[in-house]
Chain A
């Protein structure tokens, strides 16, 4: 329970930081992935933060704990990642969606554009890496590549982002490998989750060739692929000099990731096939694990 609160406080702190740095719309781009990224950064840089009681600005009736990072370097970095990624994701949606979705995405992109420009100017490295990733992803999907190659652009991107968190060469190497497998996991998890929808709409999906009559068998295959990625991810993680937030990060790596696989690949399918994603594993864990 304590870990969850700490995690929540980073989420709220980061959200507020985004609001201060960019504006109300940028707050909405914040994802759980970026929060984890911020925590990893704070842990490696050993940044202290003070937790204060505050109120959620989006929902003033909700009280919450907020983490104020005194140095703020991690928050600024993770915030920029969040804004830049969201901007490019909107560009992607504009390119390959139906009319309604495309119009909505176009409108949002217009609103987010200035935030994006500000973030990209401050962190040109992030911008370049994300742009490159998007191009490579598009090319990979056009060529209808296999699982490893399809995951490569995202894996490389997260690898680069993680490398930016340290200046020591040997740490950079471990972070690069760790990031590679985190990116690979994120991409493949998402792909496995979307598999049935993509097959229905005839969209690219790296697992499509594994799709058979028995969906459970297919999901078992996806799970094995993810497990092997987890094994590599953990090996790298255990070589990282994690200082603060170790309990939360451990919880995510050893419990959150398996839970997410279980939920997305097996439970959700039984629970409600139609209901579209996306329940984040933290919401899920909130009920399952941390409430205990």
Chain B
């Protein structure tokens, strides 16, 4: 196994607080919510595991064995693809997305007549476009989904993520803003918290 201090990018002499800080910083960077619907979600999850394991190991080494309850961030994969009993075809499409059969998923969606396309259809098309890198289409689809079903938290959370990225808070240039806080760490934090709430709601509901 690789050196846990190297993984967290801290010197061996770092204090517990410094280590915790470094861990939190990295955990935010590779947080599953940030990579949700990204084609690299699995690799980010791998990285997250590595970071969690490294942090766990350092804690163990420092405090003695048996105290691994650090309450780390976990990767809970497919929780967002819940279904509340909508038409079974969308359940099927969601399953295809989870098992990474994107072409098949897109084929099925394209086969649905335009008169029968509901908010879910637009949302799923948005997710597929987002993954593919067709970000303008993704934005349009997700916006339409939100407009058709404004109460849906899942659509709203994805839409918020898209608009956050467009504003430049996740990288890029933000007009009318001082360059002092361009990386938008604060925004990202609050965004993660929101997304977590949304996820919780979904799972609970």
Contacts and interface: CB of A to CB of B under 8 A. Distances in A.
A271 to B, nearest CB: 16
A257 B182 CA distance: 12
Contacts of B168: 223-224, 227, 230, 258
A177 interface: yes
A28 interface: no
Contacts of B35: 235
Contact of B171 (A148, A174, A230, A239): A230
Interface in A246-260: 253-254, 257-259
A214 to B, nearest CB: 14
A228 B43 contact: no
B137 A146 contact: yes
A262 interface: yes
A223 B133 contact: no
Nearest to A263: B173
A223 B136 CA distance: 12
A109 interface: no
B117 interface: no
Q: Select the residue from B129, B137, B170, B182 with max chain A CB neighbours within 10 A.
A: B170
B77 interface: no
A238 B30 contact: yes
A236 B29 CA distance: 11
Contacts of A225: 135-136, 166
Contacts of A236: 40
Given A177-B39, A238-B30, A231 B133 contact: no
A282 B8 CA distance: 32
Given A146-B137, A173-B40, A258-B182, A228 B166 contact: yes
Given A232-B38, A262-B173, A148 B134 contact: yes
B167 interface: yes
Contacts of B174: 227, 258
A232 B136 CA distance: 13
Contact of B137 (A148, A174, A223, A232): A148
Interface in B151-190: 162, 165-168, 170-175, 182-183
A259 B29 contact: no
B133 A184 contact: yes
A155 interface: yes
Contacts of A261: 172-173
B47 interface: yes
A266 interface: yes
Interface residues of A, number: 38
Contact of B175 (A170, A230, A257, A266): A266
Contacts of A170: 43
Contacts, number: 100
Interface in B128-156: 129, 133-137, 139
B78 to A, nearest CB: 19
Given A155-B133, A181-B133, A224 B171 contact: no
B27 interface: no
Contact of A231 (B29, B40, B171): B171
B117 to A, nearest CB: 19
B7 to A, nearest CB: 13
A232 B135 contact: yes
Contacts of B49: none
A70 interface: no
Contacts of B93: none
B19 interface: no
A239 B137 contact: no
Interface of B: 29-30, 34-35, 38-40, 43-44, 47, 129, 133-137, 139, 162, 165-168, 170-175, 182-183
Query: 5 tightest A-B contacts by CB?
Result: A227-B172, A230-B172, A148-B134, A231-B170, A231-B165
Given A224-B167, A258-B172, 15 more contacts: A148-B136, A184-B133, A223-B175, A224-B168, A225-B166, A226-B173, A227-B174, A230-B172, A231-B170, A231-B172, A232-B38, A235-B40, A257-B171, A258-B182, A259-B173
21 contacts: A148-B135, A173-B39, A174-B43, A177-B39, A184-B133, A223-B173, A223-B175, A224-B168, A225-B135, A227-B168, A230-B168, A230-B171, A230-B172, A231-B165, A231-B172, A235-B34, A235-B35, A239-B40, A254-B171, A258-B174, A258-B182
